[in-house]
Chain A
Amino acid sequence: DVKVTQSSRYLVKRTGEKVFLECVQDMDHENMFWYRQDPGLGLRLIYFSYDVKMKEKGDIPEGYSVSREKKERFSLILESASTNQTSMYLCASSFPATADTQYFGPGTRLTVL
């Protein structure tokens, strides 16, 4: 079975802190994604990576950056956390074929105080 793991299920940070969310997949997928999920808004794509050290902005990249130094690991970074970044963050991975199935991690619920 494909496994996508995220470093924390719950995280509480203070405004202005630098926050790292880690995602690891074990299926040798080229593509990895970070989404945020908010009630009434569904999932929105923050960043997308299609290869090591390659990244593309999604629909809502402001306030976020990403890092992909190894194929299996994709990190989301909040340079200076703000309260409006309180949300559920979901990581996913897939093979590169167009519209291949994306496999999701369980999510990290981040609260910024």
Chain B
Amino acid sequence: AQSVTQPDIHITVSEGASLELRCNYSYGATPYLFWYVQSPGQGLQLLLKYFSGDTLVQGIKGFEAEFKRSQSSFNLRKPSVHWSDAAEYFCAVVPTGTASKLTFGTGTRLQVTL
């Protein structure tokens, strides 16, 4: 079945440490890939997206993500986490050839310790 998986429900990192959030998808063809962030009490904000081309995508707030076709993954990274990065992060896909309907993963909650 087609799906988006975020295997980590909750991650805790120290401020200044590096971060990697995992996302795997299961679709026949490579879908369009997105990462959204939801800060407490807020709606979702787009961090970055991948359609094609360069497999390393730069986003806002110092985030980047790397698309790996062989692993069906689109992991989100940040070299040095700030306390304000504490939030919930959602990976999402739009299968190619479909309407603009996002399918979301279940989310990863990031806690940052000082």
Contacts and interface: CB of A to CB of B under 8 A. Distances in A.
B63 interface: no
Contacts of B98: 98
Contacts of A105: 43
Contacts of B101: 33, 45, 48, 58
Interface residues of A, number: 28
Given A50-B99, A97-B100, A102 B46 contact: yes
B49 A104 contact: no
Contact of B43 (A42, A44, A99, A107): A107
Nearest to B102: A102
Given A42-B90, A99-B32, A99-B49, A31 B100 contact: yes
B104 A98 contact: no
22 contacts: A4-B43, A40-B106, A42-B107, A43-B90, A43-B102, A43-B104, A45-B101, A45-B102, A48-B101, A56-B99, A58-B101, A90-B43, A92-B43, A96-B100, A98-B32, A98-B96, A98-B100, A99-B34, A100-B100, A102-B100, A104-B36, A106-B43
Q: Which 6 A-B pairs have the closest CB atoms?
A: A104-B43, A99-B32, A42-B104, A99-B94, A42-B106, A104-B44
